[in-house]
Amino acid sequence: MINLIQILIEGALVGLVYGLVAISFVVIYRASKIINLAQGEVVVVGAFLLWTFTAGAAAAGYPIPLALGLLLTFAGCVAFGWTVERTIFRPLIGQSAFTIFMAGVALLILLRGLTQLIWGAQSRSMPVILPEGALQLGPFLLNTRLLIGAVFTVVLTIALHAFFTRSRLGLRLAAVAEDHTTAHSLGVSVRQAIAVAWILGTMVATAAAVVLLSGSILSLEVAVIGFKALPVALLGGLESIRGAPLAGLIIGIFEALASAYLDPLTNGAASGLLPYAAMIAVLLIRPYGLFGWRRIERL
């Protein structure tokens, strides 16, 4: 029993990390109606920025205090998000959702080349930002890095949900997610919305990179997390900030259970397949994800 609960706890903590990356995905969609296939690459860019302003600067002989390094990183995220909006998505305003999806494909390939060109393919170590070790809670152990990440995810979810449903700016962004042209004609600045979406999205992605990579190793391969998070975001519903962590929990727990109980019987296939099977099953029952907007279609 204790073992089972421990597995559930660990699955949930890992799942919330997927959820955090999924939130960065949802934030971008929720504010700009952009399905960003390149979210994994954005996480990598955020992580490289972080590395540059912490370990990288120190290695180059300019040690920066951690707090300032973080601040610079987030400034870098703002610059990155703004650049993406200005150069890629602003010219595409008003294009079909399909075209914008394809721009995500392009961004994926572009960022992959760009990170390799700027930072090189070497793997490098990330500084320890979140405390290492584990918290003993009765008979259970909780990884502090993931626990902080989980708490952060939950707080962020509540904050972003309030932002999108209560604040004036957030509501305006929601209008953009509904339809670019309509929003535009109602006087909502689509440009501003997309810029805000990307800046927020990159920041959340970088926060995810902190949780994911603190004290670990950074390589271009980290980008695969994006394709773990994409299904999580779809499962939760593309428009739902609250859906993302919940879907993350479901996927994380499913994966942990499969890995503990089914993998020994299936030579490891179960933990790879089950999350996807579960997602397709949920989508068949709720075609717009758990909390996605049900779009009413008319001719």
Partner 1 sequence: MKLKTLLAAGVAALALAAPSLAKDYTITASADYSGPFADVMPDAMAGLNAIVDYWNKEVGEGLGTHVNLKIYDMRYDSAVIARTWPSILTSDQPIMHLGFGSPDLVTLMGRLPQDKVPMLLGTAMVGLVWKPDGWHFSIRPTYSHEFAGLFSHLEAGKDGPLKIAAISTQNQAGFVDQVNGVKALATQDPDHYTVTSTQWAETAPVSLTAQVRAALADQPDVLLIGGTTAQVIAAAKAMDELGQRVPIVMSTHNGLAEVSKGIPLADLEGSYSAFSFAAPEKAELPIRDIFEANKTEGKWGTITAQASAQAILALRVLEKAIADIGADNVNGQAMYDALLAHEYTEAELLGALPTLDYDNSAPFPIGNLKATAEVVKDGKITTVQSEWFDVPQINKW
Partner 2 sequence: MRPTGIWHASYATEARVLETVRSRLWLSLFGAVLLGLPLMASPWMLGELTNLFITLIAVCGLYVTVGMAGQINIAQSAFVGVGAFTAAKLSNMGAPVWAVIPAAALITGAVSVLFALPAARVKGFYLALTTLAAQVMFPIVILALPMSWLGGLVGMPVMPPVLFGLNLGTPSGLYFLGLAFAALAVWTTYNLPRSRIGRAFRTVHDNDSAAGVMGIPVTRIKIEAFFAGALYAGVAGAILAYMLQFVTVSSFTLFASVWYLGMLIVGGLHSPLGPILGVVFVTLVQEGLHTAGNAILQSGSGLGGGAVFAASSLVLGLCILAALIFEPRGLAHIWHQLMTAFRLWPFPRN
Interface residue list for partner 1 (CB under 8 A): 6-7, 10-11, 13-14, 17-18, 116, 120-126, 132-134, 141, 143, 146, 212, 215-217, 219, 221-222, 224-225, 256, 259-260, 263-264, 267-269, 271-272
Q: Are 283 and 289 in contact (CB under 8 A)?
A: yes
Q: Which does 279 bind (CB under 5 to 8 A by kind): partner 1, partner 2, none?
A: partner 2
Shortest Å distance, C-beta 138 to partner 1 = 16
Q: Which residue has the tokens 């390799």?
A: 116
Instruction: Please choose which of partner 2, partner 1, none residue 280 contacts, taking the beta carbon within 5 to 8 angstroms, the exact cut-off set by kind.
Output: partner 2
Segment interacting with partner 2 (CB under 8 A) among 20-28, 89-97, 126-134, 249-257: 89-97
For residues 19 and 244, is the Cβ–Cβ distance under 8 A?
yes
Q: Which is nearer to partner 2, 101 or 158 (CB)?
A: 101
Question: How many chain residues interact with partner 2 (CB under 8 A)?
Answer: 49
- Is 288 among the residues that bind partner 2 (CB under 8 A)? yes
Select the residue interacting with partner 2 from 120, 133, 139, 215 (CB under 8 A).
120
Buried/exposed 144-168: b ≥16 CB within 10 Å, e otherwise: ebbbbbbebbeebbeebeebbeeee
Here the contacts of 291-295 (C-beta below 8 Å, separation 24 or greater) are 291/236, 291/237, 291/239, 291/240, 291/242, 291/243, 291/246, 292/236, 292/237, 292/238, 292/239, 292/240, 292/243, 293/237, 293/238, 293/239, 293/240
Q: In this chain, which stretch among 58-66, 91-99, 153-161, 171-179 interacts with partner 2, using CB under 8 A? A: 91-99
In the complex with partner 2, the residue whose CB is nearer, 123 or 266, is: 266
Q: How far is the CB of 166 from partner 2 (least distance, A)?
A: 27
Residue 108 interacts with partner 2 (CB under 8 A): yes or no = yes
Q: Kindly tell me the sign of the dihedral angle through the C-alpha atoms of 182, 27, 203, 100.
A: negative
| Min separation Cβ 92 and partner 2, Å | 6
16: exposed, middle or buried (Cβ count in 10 Å: 0-12, 13-18, 19+): buried
The one-letter amino acid code at 165 reads T
Among 4, 71, 109, 155, binds partner 2 (CB under 8 A): 109
Within residues 17-46, the interface with partner 2 by CB under 8 A covers 35, 37
Task: Kindly provide the b/e burial profile for residues 229-241, where b requires at least 16 CB atoms within 10 angstroms of the residue's own CB.
Answer: bbbbbbbbbbbbb
Kindly give the interhelix angle for 39-51 and 66-84, rounded to the nearest 10 degrees. 140
Among 4, 66, 71, 105, binds partner 2 (CB under 8 A): 105
Task: Give the shortest CB-280-to-partner 1 separation in angstroms.
Answer: 19
- Tell me the C-alpha distance between 195 and 235, whole Å: 26
Q: How far is the CB of 264 from partner 1 (least distance, A)?
A: 8
Asked if 229 interacts with partner 2 (CB under 8 A), we say no
Q: Where are the alpha helices (DSSP H) in 96-189?
A: 97-119, 144-166, 168-178, 180-185
Per CB under 8 A, residues contacting partner 2 are: 35, 37, 88, 91-92, 95, 97-99, 101-103, 105-114, 116-117, 120-121, 227, 230-231, 234, 238, 266-269, 272-273, 276-277, 279-280, 283-284, 287-289, 297-299
